[in-house]
Structure 1
Amino acid sequence: MKAPDAITTPADYLAWVPEKRREAMTTMHQLIRRTAPDLEPVIVYGMIGYGLEPYRTQSGCSGEWPRIALASQKAHMSLYLCGEGENGCYPAEEAKERLGKVSVGKSCIRFTKLENLNLEVVEELVAKAAAPRS
């Protein structure tokens, strides 16, 4: 569920999120801001992105993508954590078993309730995603 183009700030986004998800999304936003204060939050691709960085694919495509992103989707909420982990996997993949009752893709953690998500592990992963890259 992509936010409308009229949404231009994280505060607007959080106000737009359905009321039943607003508290969970606000808590996640605050956790990210507290853990990664140097990553500027912006609205990008209809979600809140933190720490936009340039990228270039092997095929030559380029653009900007956030290190971390938070989105309210149709059936769930999503936290995206970009960057490689220690074993060549994405950090979310590496921590899959410790995250709680959630669905994990390569870089995406999907959850329906905040109570199902281990926030201590999320904080650890956000810190890794926000760490300076060499």
Structure 2
Amino acid sequence: MQSSATSIEAYLREIPQERKSAFLRLRKTILKNIPKGFVEQISYGMVGYVVPHSIYPNGYHCEPKLPLPFISIASQKNFIALYHMGIYANPELLNWFVTEYQKHSTQKLDMGKSCIRFKKFDQIPFDLIAELVQKITVQEWINCYESILKN
């Protein structure tokens, strides 16, 4: 469910009231913990955190005009989603997250390749998300991304 919002403020206005508080807290958690250099913007119809062209001029290989995506959050039809490309790209980070999730939540982990789905908005493990967001710097993400492209 992609939004057609063209600004963060417009996207936030679209979020249903019953999940707005959790979504805003998730956004605040990311903003407080994301390493320097990532930029918040609308990306793929979601609130995204990207490596700007000023740092990585090549952009995203699928669409070089777009900056390199890293994390996105979205209000989907039945859940709040956190998309973390580092989890998808780095098996060690994925294993760490899966192991730690069990220590931070009583809810079963609902996850795709890079997508973590939160259906119970009062059960989002914000402390764990804060740790996850801190784990990869801009340069580490660029290095990881480029090593995957080479393979």
Q: Secondary structure in 1 aligned to 2:49? A: strand
Cα offsets for 1:71-92 (capped at 9, x unmatched) = 111111100111268x941734
Cα offsets for 1:3-44 (capped at 9, x unmatched) = 12xx12212211111111111111111111111153211111
TM-aligned CA deviation for residue 123 of structure 1: 0.8
Structure with larger RCO (C-alpha < 8 A, sep 6+): 2
Q: What's the counterpart of residue 81 of structure 1? A: 84
Unaligned runs of at least 5 residues, structure 1: none
Aligned CA distance change for structure 1 residues 88 and 126 (closer, same or farther; 3 Å): closer
Q: Secondary structure in 2 aligned to 1:67? A: strand
Which structure shows the bigger proportion of residues in strand conformation?
Answer: 1
* Correspondent of 1:29 among 27, 30, 36: 27
Unaligned runs of at least 5 residues, structure 2: 53-58, 144-151
Q: What's the counterpart of residue 122 of structure 2? A: 115
CA distance in 2: counterparts of 1:10 and 1:93, whole angstroms: 31
Aligned residues: 127
Contact 1:90 1:106 in 2 (8 A): no
Contact 1:82 1:129 in 2 (8 A): no
Which structure shows the bigger proportion of residues in helix conformation?
Answer: 2
Q: What's the counterpart of residue 45 of structure 1? A: 44
2:98 pairs with 1:96:
yes
Q: Secondary structure in 1 aligned to 2:139? A: coil
Identity of aligned residues (%): 29
